[in-house]
Amino acid sequence: MKKITTIGGGTGQYVLLSGLRDLEDIEITAVVSMVDSGGSAGRLRDELGVLPPADILKCTVALSPFQDAARKILQTRLNSSDKLSGHNAGNMLLSMLSQYAGNFPDGVKALGEILNIKGRVLPVTIDRATLVAELTSGMRLYGEAAIDVPCDGQREKIREVFLVPHHSESVSVYEPVISAISEADYVIIGPGDVYTSIVPNFLVPGVKEAFKNTKAKLIYVVNAMTKYGETDGFTPLDFLRIIEDHIGRDLNYILVNNKKPSEEVLQRYHDQRASFVDLDSNQREKIKPRILIEEDLIEIGDFIRHSPAKLAEIIKNIF
């Protein structure tokens, strides 16, 4: 039985976990970023003082054998009253479970029991904090939502991101996360927004140290597309350098999608100032001695997304 720990948040980790869930002889732990500040999650954080539930909810649903039904029910938007308007059922349920259980991790565990998940889902911290990005211009953006959705016009590049705790001098790691990284056989990072879904996990004190000490093999799934305001013009080498700078060690496996979407699809993304993450021969040499795996890893519908099945097949071969 191999112990697998995933690190991330948002849609990227949902996709990865949806694929891993069906693999045999693995024990999955999903570690999730806790800085979501937009939409329903942000409102619940501000109004009730609870931790943002959205990314935790996605990961829990991904690991459930009832994924399709759970997703349909728990993502239902409530409109029965002004107070509930805009919230989704899953965020409300997880917030209620957390308050009734007395703490957020027990609420997450209870939701996992309801959905009969394969594995466990852990918040990287149970302390409330705001993600702050400092741009090359010196300007600072406060909150994941402000970083994630740039205002109109050109925005300077992100120089660094850091966490500002709400009620203490520093943010503390949720202790089981350290064990999940330390005892893992493999740690899978990404895919996902680098500065708002992945790096915030490494900013929590103790996480970087756990990466330095673990004997786990580290797998990084590089994004298929860049994102305006975060990773404009990035190559796979740019992505992996940011990850390695924040974990303090080299990665072992780099997974890069090599299927280029049609020009029609790429034009839609170009209109959003996003571009295909391409790898040239010069970059391949610089990635060594890390093991580079280039495969068709995506599926294309309304959006370009990594394919759960394709990711799972590649990762199974690595195992």
Residue 18: helix, strand or coil by DSSP? helix
Q: How many domains does the chain have?
A: 1
159-166 mean pLDDT:
94
The length of the chain is 319
State pTM to two decimals: 0.93
As a whole-number percent, the residues of the chain with pLDDT over 70 amount to: 92
Residue 96, amino acid: M
**Which pLDDT score is estimated for 146?**
87
Query: Which of residues 37 and 266 earns the better pLDDT score?
Result: 266
Residue 138: helix, strand or coil by DSSP? coil
User: Which residues fall within 8 angstroms of residue 220, CB to CB, at 6 or more apart?
Assistant: 188, 189, 190, 239, 240, 243, 251, 253, 254, 255
Residue 8 has pLDDT above 80, yes or no: yes
44-73 mean pLDDT:
83
Q: Which of 12-26, 32-46, 142-156, 192-206 has the lowest mean pLDDT?
A: 32-46
**Which pLDDT score is estimated for 152?**
59
Query: Is the CB of residue 121 less than 8 Å from the CB of residue 112?
Result: yes
CB atoms within 10 A of CB 38: 17
* Residue 240, in any domain of the structure: no
* Residue 114, in any domain of the structure: yes
* Residue 193, in any domain of the structure: no
Cis peptide bond prior to 191, omega within 30° of 0: yes
Q: Which two tokens stand for residue 267?
A: 């034009």
As a whole-number percent, the residues of the chain with pLDDT over 90 amount to: 73
* Residue 261, in any domain of the structure: no
Residue 51 has pLDDT above 80, yes or no: no
* Residue 107, in any domain of the structure: yes
Q: Which two tokens stand for residue 304?
A: 């370009």
Q: Which of 96-100, 151-155, 182-186, 194-198 has the lowest mean pLDDT?
A: 151-155
* Residue 103, in any domain of the structure: yes
**Structural domain of residue 81, as residue ranges?**
35-123
∠ Cα 40 45 46 (to 5°): 100
* Residue 177, in any domain of the structure: no
Query: Which of residues 36 and 304 earns the better pLDDT score?
Result: 304
- pLDDT tens across 273-287, in order? 899 999 988 889 999
* Residue 56, in any domain of the structure: yes
**Which pLDDT score is estimated for 79?**
73
**Which pLDDT score is estimated for 302?**
81
**Which pLDDT score is estimated for 40?**
55
Element (H, E) at 94: helix 89-101
CB atoms within 10 A of CB 157: 13
**Which pLDDT score is estimated for 84?**
62
Name the average pLDDT for the chain: 91
- pLDDT tens across 73-121, in order? 988 877 776 666 667 888 889 988 998 999 999 999 999 999 999 999 9
pLDDT grade, residue 303 (50/70/90)? confident
